[in-house]
């Protein structure tokens, strides 16, 4: 028995079948198997195949690639628990799962440091045009591309939760002035760090760099549309490691083309990989850099996610099967 894990007799009986449809740390696969669950690890499984076999499973474990929507849930007659190995459950239809009495578990906080560090990396890459500079050096041209300094610039953090707060702390250490906006009252936490909480209008108008750290749901309206882009400082550096849905993509393209947004650095796209014309235009824009949703993709974060998701999953199984 692994230290700290919950004992459940249903698990030992080997009745419960688990389908893992995205890559997870091997800790999770081995621990669940050792505890007696029947685990099928299919990290590259297609949606068609999931639909074909999901009816045999009690539990599904996903990351962000697998969309657990109405169609999947309809086919999943035995499904009792959905585990999201990570944070950001916008790929799961919460309402439908609740209606069907399916529990959802995830791993809040396990990837905070990794996502925050990637955010700072993207911010510096945007300010110094690192991608172009590195390519120029690799080609042997050694063009000295002039960037901008982040020290003394105003960083506006939208969404002052776990990752937003961590980003603010690092940015302050780099000499940035940080302001924040959140829909909940975060004044106490912000004041403790020396961060001023402002309204969205002021944040948009006074930030040199804006970093997005909001959660989104299926129903959320994009936070950034034409109206918001009209308020930002011309040449704004916009960083987004939260979710693409927080931004109206067509409005962003317009703002990039007009120069209102000077640079867009992101880890998240509306479709991953992108497929719409406007989205491909953003991907290939000369003032855009995109990383392939790797915010949580570090050894440390993946291990923490696996431990936390496994614990939460076992707790949910106990609640469902041992009532
Ligand atoms: P969190 O829940 O700790 O913080 C989110 C904050 O955003 C909360 O304080 C909330 O009140 C605020 N918020 C929500 N909607 C808002 C709105 N419309 N306007 C202003 N504030 C709003 O979440 P977190 O752990 O900090 O994660 C933040 C985001 O980062 C999530 O969307 C998550 O999915 C994403 N994320 C991405 C990666 C990645 O790989 N790129 C990794 C981890 C997390």
pLDDT at 107 over 70: yes
Catalytic, 71? Answer no
Question: In the CATH scheme, what architecture does the domain 112-290 have?
Answer: 3-Layer(aba) Sandwich (3.40)
Report the alpha-carbon distance of residue 147 to residue 133 in Å, rounded: 10
The pLDDT assigned to 164 comes to: 98
Catalytic pick among 71, 132, 272, 281 = 272
Q: Which CATH number fits domain 17-108+300-321: 2.40.40.20, 3.50.50.60, 3.40.50.720, 3.40.50.1970?
A: 3.40.50.720
Report the alpha-carbon distance of residue 285 to residue 39 in Å, rounded: 43
Nearest CA to ligand 1 atom 9: 161
97-126: average pLDDT: 97
| C-beta of 123 in contact with ligand 1 (< 6 A) | no
Nearest CA to ligand 1 atom 1: 161
313: closest CA among 80, 96, 114, 101? 80
Q: Ligand 1, closest atom to CA 88?
A: 34
Mutate to test the pocket of ligand 1, among 88, 118, 190 (most ligand atoms within 8 A of CB): 88
Catalytic, 243? Answer yes
Give tens-digit pLDDT for 231-287.
999 999 999 999 999 999 999 999 999 999 999 999 999 999 999 999 999 999 999
All structural domains of the chain with their residue ranges: 17-108+300-321, 112-290
Nearest CA to ligand 1 atom 37: 242
The reply to whether domains 17-108+300-321 and 112-290 share a CATH topology is yes
Catalytic, 213? Answer no
291-305: average pLDDT: 97
Give tens-digit pLDDT for 172-231.
999 999 999 999 999 999 999 999 999 999 999 999 999 999 999 877 899 999 999 999
Strands of the sheet containing 17-20, edge to edge, are: 38-41, 17-20, 59-62, 81-84, 103-105
Report the alpha-carbon distance of residue 149 to residue 266 in Å, rounded: 19
| C-beta of 160 in contact with ligand 1 (< 6 A) | yes
């Amino acid at each position: 028995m692994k230290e700290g894990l919950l004992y459940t007799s249903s698990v030992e009986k080997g009745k419960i079948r688990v389908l893992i449809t995205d890559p997870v740390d091997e800790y999770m696969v081995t621990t669940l198997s050792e505890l007696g669950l029947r685990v099928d690890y299919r990290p590259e499984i297609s949606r068609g195949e999931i639909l074909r076999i999901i009816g045999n499973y009690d539990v599904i474990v996903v990351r962000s690639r697998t969309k657990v929507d109405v169609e999947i849930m309809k086919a999943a007659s035995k499904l009792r628990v959905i585990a999201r190995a990570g944070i950001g459950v916008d790929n799961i239809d919460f309402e439908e799962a609740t209606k069907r009495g399916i529990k959802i578990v995830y791993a809040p906080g396990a990837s905070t440091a990794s996502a925050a560090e990637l955010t700072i990396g993207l911010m510096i890459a945007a300010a110094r045009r690192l991608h172009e500079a590195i390519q120029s050096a690799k080609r042997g041209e050694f063009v000295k591309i002039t960037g901008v300094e982040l020290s003394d610039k105003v960083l506006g953090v939208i969404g002052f939760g776990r990752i937003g707060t961590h980003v603010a702390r690092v940015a302050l250490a780099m000499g940035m002035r940080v302001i924040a906006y959140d829909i909940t009252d975060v004044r106490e936490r912000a004041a403790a760090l020396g961060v001023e909480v402002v309204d969205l209008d002021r944040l948009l108008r006074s930030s040199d760099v804006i970093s997005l750290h909001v959660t989104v749901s299926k129903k959320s309206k994009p936070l950034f549309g034409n109206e918001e882009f009209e308020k930002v400082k011309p040449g704004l550096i916009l960083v987004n490691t939260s979710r693409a849905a927080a931004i109206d993509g067509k409005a962003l393209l317009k703002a990039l083309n007009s120069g209102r947004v000077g640079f867009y650095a992101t880890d998240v796209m509306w479709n991953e990989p992108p497929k719409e014309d406007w989205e491909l235009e953003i991907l290939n824009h000369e003032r855009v850099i995109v990383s392939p949703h790797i915010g949580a993709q570090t050894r440390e974060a993946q291990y923490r996610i696996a431990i936390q998701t496994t614990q939460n999953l076992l707790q949910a199984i106990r609640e469902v099967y041992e009532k």
